Amino acid sequence: MRVIVCGAGQVGSTIAKHLASEKVDVTVIDSDPAQAQRVDESYDVQGIVGHASHPEVLERAGAANADMLIAVTRFDEVNMVACEVAFSLFKVKRRIARVRHEGYLNPGIATLFGNDRLAIDVVISPEYEVAHGIARRLAAPGAFDSTMLAHSAVQLLGVHCNVANSPAIGRRVADLSSLAPGAMLTPLAIIRSGAGFIPNAEDRIELGDGLYALVDPRRARDLIAMLGHNERVARRVLIVGAGNVGLNLARHLALTSPSVSMRIVEASRPRAEYVSRLLGEAAIVLHGDALDRDMLIEANAGAADAVVTVTNDDETNIFSAVLAKREGSKRAIALVTKTTYEPLLEPLNIDVVVNPNAITISTLLRQLRPRSVAGVYALREDLGEIIDAVAQPGSPLVAAPLRDVQKPEGMLIGAVVRDRQMIALTDDLQIEPGDRVVAIVNSAAHAASEVLLAGDKSNEIRDFEA
């Protein structure tokens, strides 16, 4: 597969690095020579200097032979025009554009995009996706990660095992399901001492581990409680940063959780005034510096059930979260882009760290996976990703009972959903065409897992609704 990535910023570089690790032929275009050179030298990709929407630049990048174009520059209009040029002049099969301005994302003008209009197959809005990712974490207190899969019949939770008297500490992975009978609990991965791995049945949970598991959403609280957490759902939320992420988060909470009391701290007065007008009575917007203790006191950080720091600066997000916790905020969620900071954050008592690039990658990976894959959720690089797939007729997955299915090393099936209900994973289980299968797959197992999932294309089943 050949992919052109337009934009070598944080999002574009992360996409290029991820695709290159999967042996995809990647060319990255950026108007900044230093950025183009950086990706060219840092990853196994080709960097080209030029404006991504110019036909001659796309031609030089190999658009005539490209299978996909991903336009993620800082400018919506450049991204949209790049997709249009790629389709009209070079017939690039798949075009994805990053669009940030809320005017373009209004559901009322969804007909703006499509081959007979603006030739964009998929529109991604990282800020919108990140805001919803944070909202999911707020709805699962005690978890550092959370998402729904397979028609929302399965919940993926990441929970810190940092409570010494938790009954799970010291127990074998194989025994965890007995601590929450009926929860359909499947442990998928463990993060220990900064490294992630897929455990076997004999591995034991240690104090300080981070555990990823699949569970019936109706029993999610049982898993969190089993690991020693009893945090309550936030009713008072302090948001630091009123940029696109902060604004989208506030709007989402106002719509889905109107009983939540919100305060927002924004360093730019014009932006604070603008967001205040947009949100009206849904939130109190304060102009000030969240690194100033007096500002945090005015924002009543000490009474907040959760503080969410989502400015455009990692350092501000980290330290304002730490200061808010010191003032008494019960939970801190910080947006941190630089992965090099990750080993430093645990001692700072930040409860949840959200990496916006991982969320964006999850959205894009779905476009690169086989048609049988309905959803993808990217985890850490050393863990790979969660795939949500539809079992296909003729697939090796449906040819034998689960005990006899030859799964590649690095792939673990964690849940099967039939008629929108999780069913017990037993050795005798016969997966049927149309079942939703949720599995963790590391990077080494991608190719083999796609073979396992592939079926008879003439009878392909697609069942991709949310």
DSSP at 228 = T
Q: Is the pLDDT of residue 21 over 90?
A: no
CATH number for the domain spanning 435: value is 3.30.70.1450
Average pLDDT, the chain: 91
Helix H or strand E encompassing 196: strand 195-197
Q: Is the Cβ–Cβ distance between 336 and 355 less than 8 Å? A: yes
Range with lowest mean pLDDT among 99-113, 325-339, 357-371: 99-113
On whether the CB atoms of residues 445 and 410 are closer than 8 A, the answer is yes
318 and 348 co-located in one domain: yes
Query: 276 phi and psi, to 5 degrees?
Result: -60, -40
pLDDT in tens, 227-241: 999 888 999 999 999
Tokens (6 digits) for 264: 């927002």
Q: Are 439 and 187 in contact (CB under 8 A)?
A: no
- pLDDT score for 466: 42
> Same domain, yes or no, for 330 and 382?
no
Please write the tens of the pLDDT for every residue from 265-323.
Answer: 999 999 999 999 999 999 999 999 999 999 999 999 999 999 999 999 999 999 999 99
Least confident of 119-123, 211-215, 363-367, 423-427: 363-367
Whether the pLDDT of residue 380 is over 90: the answer is no
- Average pLDDT (163-168) is 92
Average pLDDT over residues 103-109: 68
Q: Is residue 220 part of a domain?
A: no
The answer to whether position 86 is within a domain reads yes
Q: Exposed, middle or buried: residue 239 (CB in 10 Å: 0-12, 13-18, 19+)?
A: buried
Residue 53 is predicted with a pLDDT of 96
- Reported in sequence order, the residue ranges of 391-435 that DSSP labels E, i.e. its strands, are 411-418, 421-423
- The rounded distance, in Å, linking the Cα atoms of 246 and 163 is 31
In this predicted model, which residue has the larger pLDDT, 466 or 274? 274
Q: Is 12 helix (H, G, I), strand (E, B) or coil?
A: helix
Residue 363 has what pLDDT? Answer: 82
Number of domains present in the structure of the chain: 3
Asked if 319 and 377 sit in the same domain, the reply is no
Residue 339 and residue 437 share a domain: no
Same domain, 11 and 77: yes
Picking from 354, 384, 409, the residue at the C-terminal end of a domain is: 354
Average pLDDT for 140-158: 94
Q: Does residue 172 sit within a domain?
A: no
Question: Does residue 419 sit in the same domain as residue 319?
Answer: no
Say if residue 463's pLDDT is above 70.
Answer: no
Is 361 inside any structural domain? Answer: no
For residues 409 and 346, membership in a common domain is answered with: no
Report the distance separating Cα 188 and Cα 199, nearest Å.
7
Residue 175 belongs to a domain: no
pLDDT of 419 strictly over 60: yes
- When pLDDT is averaged across residues 391-416 and rounded to a whole number, the result is 93
The alpha carbon dihedral of 347, 234, 278, 288 has a sign of negative
Which of 354, 381, 403 is at the close of a domain?
354
Find the mean pLDDT for residues 320-331.
96
Inform me whether the pLDDT recorded for 328 exceeds 80: yes
| For residues 170-181, average pLDDT | 92
Q: What are phi and psi of 68, to 5 degrees?
A: -150, 145
Distances (CA, A) of 316 to 134, 266, 320, 323, 333: 17, 12, 6, 10, 13
pLDDT at 92: 96
The Cα 142–Cα 158 span in angstroms is 9
Same-domain status, 280 and 374: no
380 and 348: one domain?
no
Residues 268 and 348 in one domain: yes
Q: Are 192 and 224 in contact (CB under 8 A)?
A: no
CATH value at residue 96: 3.40.50.720
What does DSSP assign to residue 224? Answer: H
**What is the bridge-based pairing of β-strands 209-215 and 122-124?**
unpaired
Is residue 10 located within the same domain as residue 118?
yes
Among 233-242, 422-431, 435-444, 445-454, the least confident range:
445-454
- pLDDT of 52 strictly over 50: yes
What pLDDT does residue 385 have?
93
- Asked if the structure places residue 226 within a domain, the reply is no
Does residue 447 form part of some domain? yes
- Domain contains 418: yes
Cβ atoms of 48 and 61 within 8 Å: the answer is: yes
Query: Is there a single domain that holds both residue 447 and residue 381?
Result: yes
Q: Residue 443 — very low, low, confident or very high, per pLDDT cuts 50/70/90?
A: confident
- Residue 98 structural domain: 2-124
- Enumerate residues 6+ apart whose C-beta is below 8 A from 107: none
What's the length of the chain? 466
Q: Which of 342, 347, 389, 348 is CA-nearest to residue 365? A: 389
- Report residue 308 as tokens: 């969410």
User: Are the C-beta atoms of residues 250 and 239 closer than 8 Å to each other?
Assistant: yes
What average pLDDT does range 435-456 have in this prediction? 89
pLDDT of residue 110: 57
Q: Is the pLDDT of residue 169 over 70?
A: yes
Of the candidates 95, 124, 153, which is a domain's last residue?
Answer: 124
